[in-house]
């Protein structure tokens, strides 16, 4: 594994860890919660995050495409999101050449996904189903661990 693909894979694993925390234990009503009349729902945000990793994979492969995903049931969109992460990570793990720079992949879809994870976490608080803060430096984040099964936090804040 090259240093570049290892770094990108760690970034994807970081998205997985933080995203799992933001969706873990969310109440059923959370999927449709709106902070305001024009804001996206958590289900819409997560569907968009699926699109981001489809886009990332298409760019890495050299045939950039964007396709909007329909909003589906919460459990389904959560599962789809982690499947999309796994597909992108598998491409990176295979050591295939990237058709675009790693920096572009990070600054576009990966960084955007991290922003949306923060939105989900904030929406959880607004929906009165908060997620505890965490010292992410101490988190057990591992390259290749991009599924819904993530370790529990090493150090959370009250």
Query: pLDDT tens, position by position, for the chain (158 residues)?
Result: 677 789 999 999 999 999 999 999 999 999 999 999 999 999 999 999 999 999 999 999 999 999 998 999 999 999 999 999 999 999 999 999 999 999 999 999 999 999 999 999 999 999 999 999 999 999 999 999 999 999 999 899 87
The residue among 19, 18, 7 whose CA lies nearest residue 137 is 18
State pTM to two decimals.
Answer: 0.95
pLDDT of residue 2: 79
Q: Report how far residue 25's alpha carbon sits from residue 28's, in angstroms, rounded to the nearest whole number.
A: 9
The residues spanned by each domain of the chain are 3-26+40-138
The residue among 94, 70, 90 whose CA lies nearest residue 82 is 90
Q: What Cα–Cα distance (Å) separates residue 42 from each residue in 21, 32, 73, 105, 119?
A: 14, 6, 11, 24, 8
DSSP 8-state class, residue 96:
P
Q: Please count the CA atoms within 13 angstroms of the CA of 151 that sit on its side-chain side.
A: 14
| Tokens coding 44 | 């819409």
Identify the helix (H) or strand (E) that includes residue 19: helix 3-23
pLDDT of residue 158: 77
């Amino acid at each position: 594994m090259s240093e570049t693909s290892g770094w990108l894979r760690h970034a994807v694993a970081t998205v997985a860890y933080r995203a799992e925390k933001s969706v873990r234990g969310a109440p059923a009503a959370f999927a449709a919660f709106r902070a305001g009349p024009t804001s996206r729902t958590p289900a819409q945000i997560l569907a968009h995050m699926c699109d981001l990793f489809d886009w990332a994979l298409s760019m890495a492969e050299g045939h950039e495409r964007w396709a909007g995903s329909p909003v589906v049931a919460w459990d389904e969109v959560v599962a789809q999101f982690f499947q999309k992460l796994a597909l992108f990570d598998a491409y990176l793990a295979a050591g295939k050449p990237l058709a675009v720079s790693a920096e572009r992949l990070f600054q576009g879809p990966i960084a955007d996904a991290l922003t949306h994870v923060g939105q989900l976490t904030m929406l959880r608080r607004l929906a009165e189903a908060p997620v505890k803060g965490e010292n992410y430096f101490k988190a057990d984040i591992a390259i290749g661990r991009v599924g819904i099964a993530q370790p529990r936090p090493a150090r959370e804040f009250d």
